[in-house]
Amino acid sequence: MSRPTGFMEYARELPPDRQPYVRALDYLEMHPDFPEARLQEQAARCMSCGIPFCHTGTLLNGMASGCPLHNLIPEWNQMVYRGLWHEALKRLLRTNNFPELTGRVCPAPCEGSCTLSLNEEAVTIKQIECTIIERGFAEGWMRAEPPVVRTGKRIAVVGSGPSGLACADQLNQAGHWVTVYERADRIGGLLMYGIPNMKLDKAIVQRRIELMVEEGVQFVTNTEIGKDLPAEQLRAEFDAVVLCGGATQPRDLPVEGRHLQGIHFAVDFLSADTRSLLSDGPCAEDWISARYKDVVVIGGGDTGTDCVGTALRHGCTDLAQFEILPRPPDDRPPDNPWPEWPRTYRLDYSQEEAIALLGRDPREYGILTRRFVGDESGHVREAHTVRVEWEQVDGRRTFREIPGTEQRWPARLVLLALGFLGPESPLPAKFGVEQDARSNVRAEYGRFATNVPGVFCAGDMRRGQSLVVWAIDEGRGAARECDRYLMGSTNLP
């Protein structure tokens, strides 16, 4: 145990983020380093539970409870407290291929199920995890370690998001030759173009890619399988194929006026912004600017939050974020007990920035968008909404419109952040793999094998839109089963 009374002696503490009115002027990461002594105090708060729910990695009431990767959290907390950083790094890497990514973008379901959070604030697991891996890079411990022996087997991984990268990393460690295909111009999938730079600096992603290249993984960009390269050719040239293309079909909002100019999917807005950032200037072909515009973001999840932060950095005039669900409670409701993920109110980074720059939280809860109205040139001008009230009808939760609550909002840019429906249809069809009713590739969790021999599937393409940490878990699992298929047995976890 780190320190038997640590959870009673130290309060939860995180390094203060950069001031919101300062960080909203750039795309630099928001979180500064934390002094080692202070971080060790935070590690001392870990109770080293006999049954550590923080790494159970299960679904409770539809939400992740504990770490899906089953990170050995109490163990590396104890090592950090004792100053055994190298040992902590080795223990962390046993279960997580990319802690520098999850330590930045994961919502930390581990903290939601921390035993200490029953009546205190949870251990700062995410901060400690990120510090361990960054210490590893700073100390030179993160060196390329290509496999000593190669099996001669060749595997194609389609998609370079978190599941594809994790799958490729594991298969390469097993000694196989792995080629990762990506249709975009850079490797990383949603890590590169779906998450803005202030949350995940692209240099962090590129650092990991370069390490994987040194270890023998081959990456091919600007190549869409089924279009630039036939699926049949991949199956002929490789011993196995793993589909990790993600759930990239955005959910639309089929209301009156949807056809107007100035209404975009959030993913297009965010990806264009990152491409422009990496190109040191706006890319004329797809740049979507929020500068001097009244912006409406529809959707209250992480993607909507990222749209708010990006629009603020563009210099928008005003901003509103619509969420059809009611405002979450400040404390856990009775039907949301520990160790479930706490469905409580949070002030995320971009809403904090909006308060600093615009003077208010941009979120509007319990609101339904009815239509868009345009100007004489066919460009969106207004969003028309109505307030809704949620209720239980025949055991199902539904909403009704509240008469007299209609409202008009100025909107020169509308961003649809309503989640994703599933994978884009051409790729699964090209491989002849079965899909379920939600269009996800049909492959049983734990086996990850499709109906086509030698073709596996993992990540959002299999399970639907989910967390980065689940994608990494799935990529690792698919690698294990692919290795078993090729070799008859496997040593991969």
In a domain, 375, yes or no: yes
HEC sequence for 100-153:
HHHHHHCCCHHHHCCHHHHCCCCCCHHHHHHHHHHHHHHCCCCCCCCCCCCCCC
In a domain, 283, yes or no: yes
Residues 160 and 231 in one domain: yes
In a domain, 1, yes or no: no
In a domain, 351, yes or no: yes
For residue range 203-229, what is the model confidence (pLDDT) as tens digits? 999 999 999 999 999 999 999 999 999
pLDDT score of 342: 94
Between the two ends of the chain, the Cα-to-Cα distance in Å is: 26
Residues 120 and 234 in one domain: no
Nearest Cα neighbor of 252 from 418, 465, 372 is 418
CA 182 vs. chain centroid, Å, equals: 18
Residues 265 and 413 in one domain: yes
Residues 188 and 175 in one domain: yes
Residues 327 and 198 in one domain: no
Residue 465: partners with Cβ closer than 8 Å, 6 or more residues away: 247, 419, 420
Residues 404 and 458 in one domain: no
pLDDT score of 282: 64
Per-residue pLDDT of the chain (493 residues; tens, 9 = 90+): 678 899 999 999 999 999 999 999 999 999 888 999 999 999 999 998 888 999 888 888 888 899 999 999 999 999 999 999 999 999 999 999 999 999 999 999 999 999 999 989 999 999 999 999 999 999 999 999 999 999 999 999 999 999 999 999 999 999 999 999 999 999 999 999 999 999 999 999 999 999 999 999 999 999 999 999 999 999 999 999 999 999 999 999 999 999 999 999 999 999 999 999 998 766 656 789 999 999 999 999 999 999 999 999 999 999 999 999 999 999 999 999 999 999 999 999 999 999 999 999 999 999 999 999 999 999 999 999 999 999 988 888 999 999 999 999 999 999 999 999 999 878 999 999 999 999 999 999 999 999 999 999 999 999 999 999 999 999 999 999 999 999 999 999 9
In a domain, 456, yes or no: yes
Nearest Cα neighbor of 147 from 237, 99, 214 is 214
- Residue carrying the six token digits 């629009």: 311
Of the three residues 72, 107, 138, the one that is the final residue of a domain is 138
**What's the total number of domains in the chain?**
3
Residues 111 and 184 in one domain: no
Q: What phi and psi values does residue 473 have, to the nearest 5 degrees?
A: -60, -45
What is the spatial distance between Cα 443 and Cα 459, in angstroms, rounded to a whole number?
11
For CA atoms 210, 463, 466, 224, give the dihedral sign.
Answer: positive
**The domain that contains 402 carries what CATH number?**
3.50.50.60
Of the three residues 365, 388, 418, the one that is the final residue of a domain is 418
**The domain that contains 87 carries what CATH number?**
1.10.1060.10
Q: Which residues of 424-440 are buried (b: 16+ CB within 10 A; e: fewer)?
A: beebbebbebebeeebb
Residues 402 and 459 in one domain: no
Q: What phi and psi values does residue 219 have, to the nearest 5 degrees?
A: -115, 135
In a domain, 149, yes or no: no
Of the three residues 367, 399, 418, the one that is the final residue of a domain is 418
pTM, to two decimals: 0.96
Residues 386 and 329 in one domain: yes
What is the spatial distance between Cα 124 and Cα 122, in angstroms, rounded to a whole number?
6
In a domain, 311, yes or no: yes
Residue 159: partners with Cβ closer than 8 Å, 6 or more residues away: 180, 181, 182, 189, 243, 244, 245, 246, 459, 461
Q: Which pair of tokens denotes residue 202?
A: 């692209």
Distances (CA, A) of 320 to 85, 317, 395, 417: 44, 11, 32, 13
Residues 124 and 273 in one domain: no
Residues 260 and 331 in one domain: yes
Q: Which domain holds residue 464?
A: 154-248+421-487
pLDDT score of 1: 64
What is the spatial distance between Cα 54 and Cα 125, in angstroms, rounded to a whole number?
9
